[in-house]
Amino acid sequence: MITFMNNSDSEEEPCNERTSLMSAESPPVPSYQDGQQASEAGEAHAHRKRRTGSSRSPNNATDGDVSDSGVPVRESTLENEEEELTLKYGAKHVIMLFVPVTLCMIVVVATIKSVRFYTEKNGQLIYTPFSEDTPSVGQRLLNSVLNTIIMISVIVVMTVFLVLLYKYRCYKFIHGWLILSSLMLLFLFTYIYLGEVLKTYNVAMDYPTLFLVIWNFGAVGMICIHWKGPLQLQQAYLIMISALMALVFIKYLPEWSAWVILGAISIYDLMAVLCPKGPLRMLVETAQERNEPIFPALIYSSAMIWAVGMAKPETAARGPSQQMWDTAEDRGEDHRSPSHTNSQISERRSPVPTRPITSFEELEEEERGVKLGLGDFIFYSVLVGKAAATASGDWNTTLACFVAILIGLCLTLLLLAVFKKALPALPISITFGLVFYFSTDNLVRPFMDTLASHQLYI
């Protein structure tokens, strides 16, 4: 396993994966943006998003501005409707993200708790060369910090490489890379996973059946992820892939290094997405300029976009930077990101038409979803899986981390609604998760254990 990992760098890919949360809308036109803040995260109503900046502020402000003409009044009532729908759909999209994140975590925790293989120490990745088997605490800490530095620099290098490839339009190379990595994940890692699960439950299986099962699973996965397939099947495959990658990380990252890496990667995420020269931000901006989706295959999207054609009349009226995201195309692209993909939550709002839209067909909603990068799935699952694997308080710690991560995700989505641009999905959740892990493991566990031993309830 170690030698294989030495040979291919594609396993590095998932850790460089995009950690981004995006809504599938184009950036708003400044015309109607009164600096109002959106009250919702990442929804998209293509045509209703005329006032994409529609905010929570009372409508008095808008009414006051447009009290004279009938048309603006009508627009402001439309705006109210939009805001309300925004909220309703926003909450729905939050739930739509909760479900896959929860499923991924459940798969990881269930595997960790039952299959011994993923908690045994069988060596380390080459990206974390320093061993943690040292006698002194200081030495161990130093080794884990060094491991983290190496891992993060590998991630940075690969991200920059990916951004350069994207900038210079080497699409074939990127696609080849993504296909290779998803091949490896879908076939090799699944084979190993299935083997270990069968071993754990002592189920006999012959090679021909195994070959058939894995071949079908892998082939359908490749088609669904890189080409076309039913949305739910694609989502299921993405969740499986993220879980597999998270399991690999849990197995091969040494204890303290894993925690330091989690912390460092959320800081990196924050910087890469928000700093003006950050690689991920440049990636997003380049993609926006070119009106292309950013490696959609590496992003989990919660809903499909349809009726792209309806946007065309409006696109003509807008500037080049406002384009709708064609998530239908997105799903056709590679999902595996061997490279760093954006760690961002970007909210793309549909462009605002320059005149009021009153016809019903244009007011029809497009069910757009929120997009979350696969790297986010992976690191959330790594955190929860590590908590399940190593915490002595067992389930309490795992549950606390789970709740913390979900609340972090909620808050991030709220911020997405407020700021309406690409935001990193990792920092808040991982911070909450780490704080809850360490505090629950060290403070709450003895308290609850003592209470339980006396059968006291609080």
Partner 1 sequence: AFFWLVSLLLASLIWFVSVHLSDQEDAKLQYGLLIFGAAVSVLLQEAFRFAYFKLLKKADEGLATISEDGRSPISLRQMAYVSGLSFGIISGVFSVINILADSIGPGIVGIHGDSPYYFITSAFLTMALVLLHTFWGVIFFDACEKRRYWCLGMVVASHLLTSGLTFLNPRYEASLVPIFIITLCMGLWAFITAGGSFRNILECLSCKQENDSRVMMYSALQVPFED
Q: Which residues bind partner 1 (CB under 8 A)?
A: 39, 56, 58-59, 80-81, 83-84, 87-88, 393-396, 399-400, 403-404, 407, 436, 439-440, 442-444, 446-452, 454-458
CA–CA gap between residue 319 and residue 321 (Å, rounded): 5
Contacts of 199 (CB under 8 A, 6+ apart): 117
Identify which of residues 317 and 452 has a Cβ nearer to partner 1 in the complex.
452
Identify which of residues 176 and 446 has a Cβ nearer to partner 1 in the complex.
446
Calculate Rg over the CA atoms of the chain.
Answer: 23
Nearest to 41 by CA among 59, 58, 23, 28: 23
**From the CB of 397, what's the least distance to partner 1, in Å?**
10
Give the burial string for 66-102 (b: 16+ CB within 10 Å, else e).
beeeeebeebbebbbebbebbbebbebbbebbeebbb
The answer to whether the CB of 350 falls within 8 A of the CB of 311 is: yes
Identify which of residues 97 and 283 has a Cβ nearer to partner 1 in the complex.
97
Phi, psi of 439 (to 5 degrees): -75, -40
Long-range contacts of 55-64 (CB under 8 A, 24+ apart): 55/83, 56/83, 61/34, 61/36, 62/34
**From the CB of 79, what's the least distance to partner 1, in Å?**
10
Identify which of residues 87 and 304 has a Cβ nearer to partner 1 in the complex.
87
Active site residue 376: yes
Identify which of residues 345 and 404 has a Cβ nearer to partner 1 in the complex.
404
**From the CB of 83, what's the least distance to partner 1, in Å?**
5
**From the CB of 345, what's the least distance to partner 1, in Å?**
20
**From the CB of 290, what's the least distance to partner 1, in Å?**
35
DSSP, collapsed to helix, strand or coil, labels residue 371 as strand
**From the CB of 184, what's the least distance to partner 1, in Å?**
35
Three-class SS of 80-127? HHHHHHHHHHHHHHHHHHHHHHHHHHHHHHHHHHHCHHHHCCCCCCCC
The answer to whether the CB of 341 falls within 8 A of the CB of 16 is: yes
Question: Which DSSP state fits 309?
Answer: G
**From the CB of 444, what's the least distance to partner 1, in Å?**
4
Identify which of residues 26 and 440 has a Cβ nearer to partner 1 in the complex.
440
Torsion over CA: 227, 228, 231, 232 (sign) = negative
DSSP, collapsed to helix, strand or coil, labels residue 23 as strand
**From the CB of 418, what's the least distance to partner 1, in Å?**
13
Nearest to 25 by CA among 273, 450, 347: 347
**From the CB of 396, what's the least distance to partner 1, in Å?**
6
| 126 C-beta neighbours (distance < 10 Å), count | 15
Give the burial string for 382-394 (b: 16+ CB within 10 Å, else e).
bbbbbbbbbbebe
Identify which of residues 13 and 83 has a Cβ nearer to partner 1 in the complex.
83
Catalytic residue among 269, 326, 330, 334: 269
Identify which of residues 38 and 271 has a Cβ nearer to partner 1 in the complex.
38
Catalytic residue among 326, 330, 334, 376: 376
CA–CA gap between residue 141 and residue 80 (Å, rounded): 55
The Cα-based distances of 316 to 321, 322, 324, 342 in angstroms read 11, 10, 12, 28
Q: Where are the alpha helices (DSSP H) in 303-394?
A: 312-317, 327-332, 360-363, 374-390
Active site residue 334: no
The Cα-based distances of 296 to 23, 150, 172, 175, 233 in angstroms read 12, 28, 15, 12, 16
Identify which of residues 8 and 39 has a Cβ nearer to partner 1 in the complex.
39
Catalytic residues: 269, 376
